[in-house]
């Protein structure tokens, strides 16, 4: 199970990073969405994985629970990342309307010159 | 704290509090403004006098307010002899300057602003001398640089004022930066940031390997502030300030801060060869060079400025010599220099004010025209020259005595000779000040008719001139105790040297040196015309030109660096950021090796495997076909869904609920945005670029995945046991995640809903700006109508959403109510209800829904934050910290038991803010559609069958 979660985080991160490095604003937003999934799952996993142990106290009998703290942190992180995505979308829209293009880089640097620098 | 400690803190605060007054009181007139500037200063001085007797008895008063104890930063103050001396000077001269400035400033100068700056500066200076913590001292130190910048540049319409202020800030600020480093090293060696403890650790500090770096860095700060060679050049340029500022900054305060620091740190740092050779030599060189330049300056203030440089050099040299005797002489000379130099600056200001010029060549003969000014100026200048019966003579004699006993690199004469040369030049420029300004024939070409100023203007310098004479005649009675207690504070535990404050010390070496200086000075004055021609013919470096050149070079360099690194390519910054993060992560990962895994892997079931596969495939597909933007959105939805399933499976029901509802609104948001944007991404990345990004992406993903895998297999100490144990008993809820959100970590949640609310407002504001700019016109002219379904508001959907609306609201309320005990809560409920409302927007269109909206979303955000905040604040009424919760239980039989308590109200605030923010964001985006020519629908659906029936009947 751990391997599954870790690989999912890894793949989401890789996909997110690749999209974030694209040249248009929409893929960058998609990439950031993927990255926020990855980060949220990553944070969640820091509480270690557990099956059938939700942190909801049982009235009767002994029960063991998974770590609730990362869940609380991730819960707000999910909502906040929505807010962040929304702001980004708005900025991207504004930039598109003003500049009539959704390229994120300024014209000066030639895209070809980019590879050797990085 | 005792009364004395309280008084001490009040003294330190008074100037800052007082700084609020002048700006307001200027409305009541200039005199009232000056009175209200003088009031806090006088009050602080009075409190200081109340504390003075104890200090004079040898006590040290401490006051301490904890601030950041973890960093060793406490607001701690102390008042010992040295602090008393300086604080008295700062406040006393501050009062005289306030009086003087009242008459000096013209009606065009904003006096309220001036006095505000003056009090801020006074507070900063006072803070330096009263601090008992070097970190606190550093803060005040920087504050003096900043507030003196404001004062020096007060006449901001003059280019000299602006340039002088910038130069002063650059030089003293740079020195301050160096000093921060030095002080941190010093604190590290001593193991404490408290000055009183550092002073006790002198031996350890001097023995440390880090002594030299700390010493050099601290001295850089002191030398720049006190205008020591080669940093002396800023001081004359600071003369562009109004004269009250010059008189204050360059006699009693700003430039004495460096001297104060050297005196303060004397027990910890002095006494080594390094100290002697750096400090004494710098002081000696500065003394001679400053005096030499002063002799050839024609501007009165420039002459005084360089004489100040020279006297600061003298003080630095005395402290640098390192013997207790020299240190005590330095203290005595600080007092004397203050009295005559402040009086001289004010005299120069009076002359400038009354005659309209400060150029010595255009003055002369003022003896008859301005008799009062003449007497004051002559007394002060004779004291500066070191003529007997005036106080400058006493400390100069003692200085020469100390210099006479000092051997420099095995040479017993060099210090004595140079000190005599300095004294000689000092006599020359002081007498020149008297002779060329006051004596000689009365001229008829003064820019304006000279006469003595009003009493208020000459009262201050007259008082100081009286002090000059009284101290000069009966020094021991007037300042003897103060010199003893302040000198004792400087030398610390060392034994008090023998010294006597009296005019006649018998025939000794110092007397002969003094006689040489006076005679030589007279000769120089007589030869001044010829010497001046030689001086002007000699080439010499112009400090300002060099400074400007350096600044220009640095600016050019930073521009080159900025332009090279900041070229407008966001992709490039991101790539650099990600590569750097991955590289740092790799270094950290490979560092010390991993502990052995301590956890067993959990088993994997088939559905999990299937979900995982879908997630991987969906992610891969997005990467491959992100050019088709709609398709990418669908794939994003799949990923979000799979992650929600994962949360369900891995015991996180709250997260699953949140994720799935956020997913829904996110997709709607992106769909709305996509409506206005190109529907596909052009294929413009080159193969090489793709390859590069692919490599970076795989490295980043691999790193993060490996890190996650590594920590998931190892156990961790968690603080969650506390939350699990106390959730029900302390927070009244069984859903621990929700209790953490609304109770244990309620403050975080409060911050987060505020951030969310701000995000909503930001979007609204952005949209509003956008729709008022050129973008709005462009939108109107764009035709978005192609490919549009003719049935945009279909009957089926309208009916279905209407039916679902109450159900969705009910589910939302249910989720909200049960949130404290079962998965749910304000966040999820807010999102669920947003979705219910959004469905109405989608079904019947923006305008139709908007007409039926009763509550503004802005208000909802505000009310939500207010409810949450007030709930938290209510705890104050019970003397509990913010957000302490109270709770009880209510049984609603058909549903289930739920807690009603403050946490419930807090969660209500969360709910409202989330609902308001989400709706405001999507509403803002939808509003753009109106500008894009979206037709306004008045009917809930495009084709209304009921209407059709009516029509048919009508036809029939």
Domain at A11, CATH number: 1.10.287.3510
Binned at pLDDT 50, 70 and 90, residue A31 comes out as very high
d(CA A50, CA B509): 90
Closest CA to B165 of B253, B246, B260: B246
Neighbouring-strand partners of residue B76: B64
Cβ atoms B256, B334 nearer than 8 A: yes
Cβ atoms B162, B238 nearer than 8 A: no
Cβ atoms B34, B26 nearer than 8 A: no
pLDDT > 90 in chain B, percent: 35
B871 touches chain A (CB under 8 A): no
Neighbouring-strand partners of residue B628: B680
For B446-488, the pLDDT digits (tens) are: 888 888 888 888 899 999 999 999 998 888 888 888 888 888 8
Assess whether pLDDT exceeds 50 at residue B30: yes
Q: Decide if B918 and A96 are in contact by the 8 Å CB cutoff.
A: no
Assess whether pLDDT exceeds 70 at residue B918: yes
For B784-818, the pLDDT digits (tens) are: 655 666 677 788 888 888 899 999 999 999 988 88
Tell me if residue B366 falls in helix, strand or coil.
helix
Mean pLDDT of B496-503: 80
d(CA B659, CA B641): 8
d(CA B657, CA B815): 10
d(CA A71, CA B367): 86
Interface test with A, best of B712, B755, B924, B925 (most A CBs within 10 A): B712
Torsion of CA B733, B738, B742, B745, to 10 degrees: 110
State the pLDDT at residue A111: 45
Assess whether pLDDT exceeds 70 at residue B280: yes
β-pairing, B887-891 with B897-901?
antiparallel
Out of A63-72, B281-290, B424-433, B824-833, pick the least confident. Answer: A63-72
DSSP string, B687-736: HHHHHHHHHHHHHHHHHHHHHHHHHHTS----SHHHHHHHHHHHHS-SBH
Mean pLDDT of B686-691: 88
H helix intervals, B819-897? 826-844, 846-851, 857-877
Cβ atoms B334, B315 nearer than 8 A: yes
d(CA B228, CA B282): 7
β-pairing, B61-68 with B887-891?
unpaired
State the pLDDT at residue A9: 94
Closest CA to B127 of B98, B147, B111, B153: B147
Binned at pLDDT 50, 70 and 90, residue B315 comes out as very high
| Residue B248 DSSP one-character state | I
pLDDT > 70 in chain B, percent: 94
State the pLDDT at residue B788: 63
In chain A, which residues have their Cβ closer than 8 Å to the Cβ of B636?
Answer: 30, 33-34
pLDDT averaged over chain B? 86
Cβ atoms B788, B869 nearer than 8 A: no
d(CA B120, CA B146): 10
CA angle B533, B535, B536 (to 5 degrees): 65
B688 touches chain A (CB under 8 A): yes
Q: Taken in order B806, B812, B816, B819, is the CA torsion positive or negative?
A: positive
Closest CA to B732 of B882, B906, B881: B906
Mean pLDDT of B137-164: 91
Assess whether pLDDT exceeds 80 at residue B747: yes
Q: In this complex, which of A3, A78, A105 lies closest to B568 when CB atoms are compared?
A: A105
- Nearest 5°: phi and psi at B434? -70, -50
Residues whose CB falls within 8 Å of the CB of residue B567, separated by 6 or more in sequence, listed in order = A106, A108, A109
Q: Is B28 exposed, middle or buried (0-12, 13-18, 19+ CB in 10 A)?
A: exposed
State the pLDDT at residue B258: 92
State the pLDDT at residue A61: 63
Between A3 and B930, name the one with better pLDDT: A3
Cβ atoms B287, B310 nearer than 8 A: yes
Q: Decide if A46 and B716 are in contact by the 8 Å CB cutoff.
A: yes
- Nearest 5°: phi and psi at B78? -145, 150
Find the helix or strand (DSSP H, E) in which B353 lies.
Answer: helix B324-355
Q: Decide if A76 and B748 are in contact by the 8 Å CB cutoff.
A: yes
Residues whose CB falls within 8 Å of the CB of residue B811, separated by 6 or more in sequence, listed in order = B832
State the pLDDT at residue A110: 45
For B346-396, the pLDDT digits (tens) are: 999 999 888 888 888 888 888 888 889 999 999 999 999 988 889 888 888
Residue of chain B nearest A73, judged by CA positions: B741
Q: Residue holding tokens 């995505």?
A: A85
For B520-561, the pLDDT digits (tens) are: 888 888 888 888 888 888 887 788 888 889 999 999 999 998
In chain B, which residues have their Cβ closer than 8 Å to the Cβ of A112?
Answer: 686
Cβ atoms B167, B234 nearer than 8 A: yes
Assess whether pLDDT exceeds 60 at residue B225: yes
- Domain annotation covers residue A118: no
Alpha-carbon distances of B627 from A27, A48, B115, B638, rounded to whole Å = 8, 37, 64, 17
State the pLDDT at residue B842: 81
Neighbours of B535 (CB within 10 A): 14
- Domain annotation covers residue A32: yes
d(CA B442, CA B450): 11
- Nearest 5°: phi and psi at B354? -90, -35
d(CA B195, CA B175): 20
- Domain annotation covers residue A78: yes
β-pairing, B61-68 with B73-79?
antiparallel
For B937-952, the pLDDT digits (tens) are: 677 777 677 766 666 6
Domain interval for residue A19: 2-51+66-106
Binned at pLDDT 50, 70 and 90, residue A118 comes out as very low
Binned at pLDDT 50, 70 and 90, residue B896 comes out as low
Domain residue spans of chain B:
270-548, 570-586+597-715, 734-956
Tell me if residue B131 falls in helix, strand or coil.
strand
d(CA B44, CA B127): 12
Closest CA to B492 of B337, B331, B334: B331
Assess whether pLDDT exceeds 50 at residue A115: no
**ipTM for this model:** 0.90
- Domain annotation covers residue A79: yes
Mean pLDDT of A57-76: 82
Q: Decide if B712 and A80 are in contact by the 8 Å CB cutoff.
A: no
Find the helix or strand (DSSP H, E) in which B75 lies.
Answer: strand B73-79
State the pLDDT at residue B118: 93
d(CA B324, CA B271): 10
State the pLDDT at residue A109: 45
In chain B, which residues have their Cβ closer than 8 Å to the Cβ of A56?
Answer: 653, 734-736, 821-823
Rounded to the nearest angstrom, the minimum Cα separation between B306 and chain A is 52
In chain B, which residues have their Cβ closer than 8 Å to the Cβ of A64?
Answer: none
DSSP string, B423-475: HHHHHHHHHHHHHHHHSSPPPS--SS---PPPHHHHHHHHHHHHHHHHHHHSH
Closest CA to A84 of A24, A39, A21: A39
State the pLDDT at residue A1: 85
Assess whether pLDDT exceeds 60 at residue B889: no
- Domain annotation covers residue A70: yes
Q: Decide if B654 and A109 are in contact by the 8 Å CB cutoff.
A: no
Binned at pLDDT 50, 70 and 90, residue B581 comes out as very high
Neighbouring-strand partners of residue B890: B898
B765 touches chain A (CB under 8 A): no
Q: In this complex, which of B693, B745, B775 lies closest to A21 when CB atoms are compared?
A: B693
Assess whether pLDDT exceeds 80 at residue B877: no
In chain B, which residues have their Cβ closer than 8 Å to the Cβ of A101?
Answer: none
CA angle B173, B176, B181 (to 5 degrees): 140
| Residue B63 DSSP one-character state | E
Mean pLDDT of B610-633: 92
Q: In this complex, which of A68, A97, A107 lies closest to B775 when CB atoms are compared?
A: A97
State the pLDDT at residue B185: 93
d(CA B57, CA B810): 79
d(CA B212, CA B218): 10
DSSP string, B520-532: HHHHHHHTHHHHH
Number of domains chain A contains: 1
d(CA A95, CA A29): 13
Tell me if residue B336 falls in helix, strand or coil.
helix
Mean pLDDT of B842-868: 84
Assess whether pLDDT exceeds 60 at residue B893: no
Mean pLDDT of B678-698: 88
Q: Decide if A115 and B653 are in contact by the 8 Å CB cutoff.
A: no
DSSP string, B765-827: HHHHHHHTSHHHHHHHH----TT--S-SS-HHHHHHHHHHHHHHHHHHHHHHHHTTTSS--HH
d(CA B316, CA B275): 11
State the pLDDT at residue B951: 62
């Amino acid at each position: 199970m751990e391997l599954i979660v870790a690989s999912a985080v890894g793949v989401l991160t890789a996909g997110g990073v690749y999209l974030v490095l694209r040249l248009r604003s929409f893929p960058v937003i998609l990439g950031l969405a993927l990255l926020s999934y990855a980060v949220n799952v990553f944070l969640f996993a820091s509480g270690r994985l557990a099956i059938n142990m939700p942190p909801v106290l049982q009235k009767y009998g002994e029960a063991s629970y998974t770590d609730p703290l990362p869940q609380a942190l991730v819960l707000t992180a999910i909502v906040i990342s929505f807010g962040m995505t929304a702001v980004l979308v708005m900025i991207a829209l504004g930039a598109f309307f003003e500049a009539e293009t959704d390229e994120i880089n300024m014209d000066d640097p030639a895209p070809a010159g980019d590879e050797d620098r990085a | 704290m005792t009364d004395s400690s309280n008084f001490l803190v009040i003294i330190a605060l008074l100037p800052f509090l007082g700084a609020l007054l002048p700006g307001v009181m200027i409305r009541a007139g200039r005199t009232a403004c000056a009175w209200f500037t003088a009031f806090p200063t006088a009050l602080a001085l009075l409190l200081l006098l109340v504390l003075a007797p104890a200090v004079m008895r040898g006590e040290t008063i401490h006051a301490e307010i904890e601030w950041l104890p973890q960093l060793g930063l406490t607001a701690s103050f102390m008042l010992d002899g040295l602090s008393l001396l300086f604080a008295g000077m700062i406040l006393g001269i501050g009062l005289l300057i306030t009086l003087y400035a009242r008459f000096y400033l013209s009606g065009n100068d904003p006096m309220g602003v001036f006095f505000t700056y003056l009090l801020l500066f006074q507070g900063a200076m006072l803070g330096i001398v009263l601090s008992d913590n070097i970190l606190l001292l550093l803060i005040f130190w920087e504050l003096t640089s900043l507030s003196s910048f404001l004062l020096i540049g007060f006449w901001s319409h003059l280019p000299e004022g602006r340039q002088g202020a910038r130069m002063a800030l650059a030089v003293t600020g740079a020195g301050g930066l160096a000093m921060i480093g030095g002080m941190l090293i010093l604190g590290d060696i001593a193991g404490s940031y408290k000055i009183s403890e550092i002073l006790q650790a002198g031996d350890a500090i001097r023995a440390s390997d880090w002594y030299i770096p700390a010493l050099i860095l601290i001295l850089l700060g002191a030398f720049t502030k006190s205008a020591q060679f080669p940093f002396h050049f800023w001081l004359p340029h600071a003369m562009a300030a109004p004269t009250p500022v010059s008189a204050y900054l360059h006699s009693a305060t700003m430039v004495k801060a460096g001297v104060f620091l050297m005196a303060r740190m004397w027990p910890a740092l002095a006494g080594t060869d390094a100290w002697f050779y750096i400090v004494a030599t710098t002081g000696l060189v500065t003394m001679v060079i400053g005096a030499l330049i002063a002799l050839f300056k024609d501007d009165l203030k420039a002459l005084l400025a360089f004489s100040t440089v020279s006297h600061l050099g003298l003080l630095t040299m005395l402290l640098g010599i390192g013997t207790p005797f020299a240190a005590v002489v330095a203290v005595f000379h600080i007092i004397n220099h203050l009295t005559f130099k402040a009086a001289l600056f004010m005299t120069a200001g009076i002359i400038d004010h009354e005659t309209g010029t400060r150029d010595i060549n255009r003055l002369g003969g003022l003896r008859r025209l301005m008799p009062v000014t003449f007497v004051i100026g002559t007394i002060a200048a004779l004291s500066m020259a070191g003529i007997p019966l005036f106080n400058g003579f006493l400390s100069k004699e003692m200085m020469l005595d100390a210099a006479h006993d000092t051997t420099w690199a095995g040479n017993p004469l060099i210090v004595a000779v140079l000190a005599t040369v300095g004294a000689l030049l000092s006599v020359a420029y002081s007498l020149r000040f008297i002779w060329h300004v006051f004596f000689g024939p009365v001229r008829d070409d003064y820019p304006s008719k000279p006469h003595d100023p009003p009493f208020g203007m000459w009262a201050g310098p007259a008082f100081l001139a009286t002090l000059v004479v009284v101290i000069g005649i009966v020094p021991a009675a007037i300042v003897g105790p103060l010199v003893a207690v302040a000198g004792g504070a400087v030398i610390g535990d060392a034994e008090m040297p023998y010294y006597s404050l009296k005019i006649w010390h018998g025939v000794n070496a110092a007397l002969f040196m003094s006689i040489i200086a006076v005679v030589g000075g007279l000769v120089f004055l007589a030869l001044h015309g010829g010497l001046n021609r030689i001086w002007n013919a000699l080439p010499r470096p112009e400090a300002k030109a060099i400074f400007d050149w350096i600044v220009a070079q640095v600016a050019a360099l930073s521009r080159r660096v900025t332009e090279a690194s900041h070229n407008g390519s966001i992709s490039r910054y991101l790539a650099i950021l990600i590569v750097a993060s991955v590289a740092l992560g790799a270094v950290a990962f490979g560092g010390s090796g991993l502990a052995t895994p301590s956890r067993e892997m959990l088993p994997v079931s088939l559905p999990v495997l299937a979900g995982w596969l879908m997630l991987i495939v969906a992610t891969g597909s997005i990467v491959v076909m992100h050019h088709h933007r709609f398709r990418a959105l669908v794939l994003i939805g799949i990923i979000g869904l799979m992650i929600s399933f994962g949360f369900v499976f891995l015991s996180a029901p709250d997260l699953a609920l949140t994720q799935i509802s956020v997913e829904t609104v996110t997709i709607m948001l992106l769909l709305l945005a996509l409506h206005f944007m190109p529907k596909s991404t052009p294929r413009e990345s080159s193969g090489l670029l793709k390859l590069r990004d692919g490599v970076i992406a795989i490295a980043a993903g691999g790193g993060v995945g490996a890190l996650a895998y590594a920590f998931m297999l190892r156990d961790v100490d968690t603080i969650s046991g506390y939350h699990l144990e106390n959730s029900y008993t302390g927070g009244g809820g069984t859903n621990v995640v929700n209790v953490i959100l609304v109770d244990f970590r309620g403050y975080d949640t409060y911050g987060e809903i505020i951030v969310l609310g701000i995000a909503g407002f930001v979007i609204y504001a952005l949209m509003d700006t956008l729709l008022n700019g050129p973008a709005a016109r462009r939108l109107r002219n764009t035709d978005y109508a192609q490919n549009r379904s003719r049935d945009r508001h279909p009957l089926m959907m309208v009916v279905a959403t209407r039916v679902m609306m109450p159900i969705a609201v009910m589910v939302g309320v249910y989720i909200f109510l049960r949130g404290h005990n079962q998965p749910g809560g304000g966040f999820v409920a807010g999102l669920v209800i947003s979705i219910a409302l959004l469905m109405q927007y989608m079904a019947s269109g923006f305008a139709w829904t908007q007409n039926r909206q009763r509550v503004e979303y802005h208000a909802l955000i505000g009310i939500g934050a207010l409810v949450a905040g007030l709930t938290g604040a209510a705890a104050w009424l019970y003397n509990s910290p913010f957000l302490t919760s109270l709770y009880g239980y209510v049984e609603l039989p058909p549903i289930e038991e739920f807690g009603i308590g403050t946490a419930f109200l807090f969660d209500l605030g969360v709910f409202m803010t989330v609902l308001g923010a989400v709706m405001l964001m999507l509403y803002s985006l939808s509003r753009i559609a109106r500008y894009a020519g979206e037709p306004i629908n008045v009917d809930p659906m495009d084709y209304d069958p009921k209407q059709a029936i009516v029509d048919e009947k009508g036809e029939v």
